[in-house]
Structure 1
Amino acid sequence: MNVSRHWFGLVGLLLLGWLLYLLHPILSPFLIGVLLAYMGDPLVDRLERWKLSRTWAVVVVFALFSLMLLVLLLVLVPMLGRQLVRLYELAPQMLDWLQHTALPWVQAQLGLADSFWRFDQLKAALSEHLGKTTDIVGAVLAQATASSLALLGWLGNLLLIPVVSFYLLRDWDLLVAKLRGLLPRRREDFVVQLVGECHEVLGAFLRGQLLVMLALGVIYASGLMLVGLELGLLIGLIAGLASIVPYMGFVVGFGAAVTAGLFQFGVEFYPLLGIAAVFMVGQLLEGMLLTPWLVGDRIGLHPVAVIFAILAGGQLFGFTGVLLALPVAAVIMVLLRHVHDLYKLSNLYRESIDGFDEPSNPA
């Protein structure tokens, strides 16, 4: 009976995976809604402890999220748009600088052949494309409106996200209580322990690490703009987003900032020193303040696991897979930890120790 029950469970998991694969084109707004509700639930619970009703607490949290989104749309998005257009315009000049200034210096230092670097074709193609259009936003809108049905579907999904988030956030505690009530009584404590460990890992990333990313993005962008780097906002935000993997944001952001600084300022000491100081301050704040305060000593996913999960999820399910990547990786990591503990307690592991013959001492 136990064997047949396990087979039924395995078949059920396979059917669930197949169903998710079929429905993944429409799952994105629901997954984003679940993510927003999961991140907003602690704020709602705290407001409830301040004697607000659940509904009014959700309304306050939604108003806060809406205000943040409004500031993002009115302030940050236009600035980023201008910097993207500027980067698009500077690309041929940057290629010229690489071809005639930076790479010849590298070539002379390493003793490479004169014909080692070939950028003529790439620069010609980029210049030709730049001549056709300089309005990136217009090109994106033209592509998006090529199919009116696709545009309506995209707008529908966008409007569906706040609706799903609101109802999930309002009924979050009720849904969790009902799901817990459906658990088998004998396995309830064990399942609750597993879910708690998954919640610890997810909390470290979806709340702690995302806040660290946001803080680092603000620090890097503000510092680079104060230094006078023309593309400082864009590079700083990219470095903050890349910080989802420890040290990747520093490597990507510092490399891009130094390259942009050499192109803009040349080999000048003080601007390059300012860029290095910005990233040094960011790393010190991350290690000594941000990560201990926002993430703490909670167990997070290994950086290699984060990279693999995001790439694998995107390859298998597209954007939906990217949204599912970290939660699924957290659950798998917790399960593997328990499998490892069970293996250490199993007869197979103990037999390998008991049956191991220690080498005799030649003395």
Structure 2
Amino acid sequence: MVFYTRHFNKNWFVATIAGILLLLQSCESPDVTKDELEQRRPAYVYEVKSKTDQRKHSFVGKVDAKQRVDLSFEVAGRLTQLPLRPGVFVQAGTLIAELSSEPFALALEAASAQQALAQSDLRRKRDLLREGAVSPALVDDAVQMLRLRDAQLAQANKALSDSRLYAPFDAHLAYRYLDNHMMVQPGQPIVRLHDLGELFIRISVPEKLFAALNQAGIDLFATFDVTGDQQFPLRLQEYEGEAGDIAQTYAVTLAMPPVPGIQLLPGMNTTVIAQRQDLVPSLWVPSEALVSDPEGNFLVWVVTEGDGLVTSRRVQIGTADDEGVRIESGVSEGETIVTAGAQQLRPGMRIRPIIEAPL
């Protein structure tokens, strides 16, 4: 058997061992120990990023007419003309209903005769007054009687005119309450007309979204089941200035023009989409990240990368909604700020960051 021997390099061995020990020592002595990190206050943090804001909120709405009118007669009578059926469109001035004109024509004839008689009586008494045969008081009585007969004649003319109902505007005949040959009382509804020259859409908006609805940059659209994914622009028409007692929502009315070729009628369901899109990217942070100083200025706590040191920074804020606050100045994109727990921080504190999901 043959044995081979190798010369051992002592210097190389010592250098290798020293390097390994140095490496182990550096690994066991980090800048921040595990115990020290666990003793720090945990806090949610958020990395500030610029983005084009595009947010949507949807609301369930109901289509309504611009105005609705229940037409009724101002006089009583028997209904003889009601030619139109529900569902038709009528132009302004179209005859809707008519009562039997015979009683009104007779009343007009009687009033006309009474007025003519009063005129004749007044002329005769004035002639007698010039002859001194009657007193001036009798002439005054005749004048008042003529005025009464004139008023009665005008009233009879109006009653005859009121026995016919005409459409006051271009309308959709939505409902017919009565049929021909029925007796009608004054004020009793005959038909319901809808003005569809403009459509109203009524929605209920929660309190936290109401303020943002009328801001610049908000686009409003309506979608309908009968039109698929097609969107129709809306404009804000009006809103109630007081929230409902139970749901704490505001009644908002939106308006849109009629859609050619598509019949949208009151009572139909619709989905209203409120969308905001900023063309210029901006910085947004969670509202919980904002704290205020005694002077009323808004601050955020900025986290130093690596050591977790927090420092307060004054910021200028812009618009806000339920998802965050726009920052006009004070922080830059890429900086890390504290969100939850910001009220408990003090200058010089170090935190254990917990990453929060982006907005």
Q: When you count strand as a share of all residues, which structure comes out higher?
A: 2
Fold shared by both chains (TM-score > 0.5):
no
The TM-score with structure 1 as length reference comes to 0.16
Higher RCO, Cα 8 Å, sep 6+:
2
Q: Which has the larger radius of gyration?
A: 2
